[in-house]
């Protein structure tokens, strides 16, 4: 049996501080452009679609589907070697953006493109949590 995935502390920019604070509360926030409606990933204050500086935080559903993935069988990263094999995936959120993440709480061989997933949060112990996804 593999060890659980490590939960490293993320580097946090000033623009993303509110995002990471919400993860500690078990909430997934996304930015939405107030002018064109584009949902923005990664957290930043301007809209990459129209250039607007008028964006605001919105609560995400935490639901999505696996867009693509790979199963990692070798790792040189300390801690991650003990968790082999594990899944790295792009999850397409219901709101539209695709996020790079892990799929957890399942056999890596069972992960499929199109699989419905929902967000889970793994506490880093530093007032932030990593968002990962598990089968819905």
Query: What's the token pair of residue 71?
Result: 């199963």
pLDDT tens-place string over residues 43-82 = 998 999 999 999 999 999 999 999 999 999 999 998 899 9
Q: Supply the range of the domain harboring residue 125.
A: 14-135
In a domain, 7, yes or no: no
Q: Residue 121: which H helix or E strand, with range?
A: strand 116-123
Question: 106-133: per-residue pLDDT in tens?
Answer: 999 999 999 999 999 999 999 999 999 9
Positive or negative, the CA dihedral 43, 127, 24, 73 is positive
The total number of structural domains in the chain stands at 1
Query: Does residue 1 fall inside a structural domain?
Result: no
Which among 57, 26, 39 has a CA at the least distance from the CA of 95? 39
pTM: 0.93
The Cα 136–Cα 123 span in angstroms is 20
- CATH classification at residue 121: 2.40.50.840
Answer yes or no: is 73 within a domain.
Answer: yes
């Amino acid at each position: 049996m593999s060890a659980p995935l490590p939960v490293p502390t993320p580097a946090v920019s000033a623009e993303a501080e509110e995002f990471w604070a919400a993860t500690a509360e078990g909430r997934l926030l996304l930015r939405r452009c107030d002018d064109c409606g584009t949902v923005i990933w990664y957290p930043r204050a301007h809209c990459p679609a129209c250039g607007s500086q008028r964006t605001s935080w919105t609560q995400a559903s935490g639901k999505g589907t696996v867009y693509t993935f790979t199963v990692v069988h070798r790792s040189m990263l300390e801690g991650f070697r003990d968790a082999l094999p594990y899944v790295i995936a792009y999850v397409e959120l219901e709101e539209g953006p695709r996020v790079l993440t892990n799929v957890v709480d399942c056999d890596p061989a069972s992960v499929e493109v199109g699989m419905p997933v929902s967000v889970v949060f793994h506490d880093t112990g530093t007032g932030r949590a990593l968002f990962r996804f598990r089968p819905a």
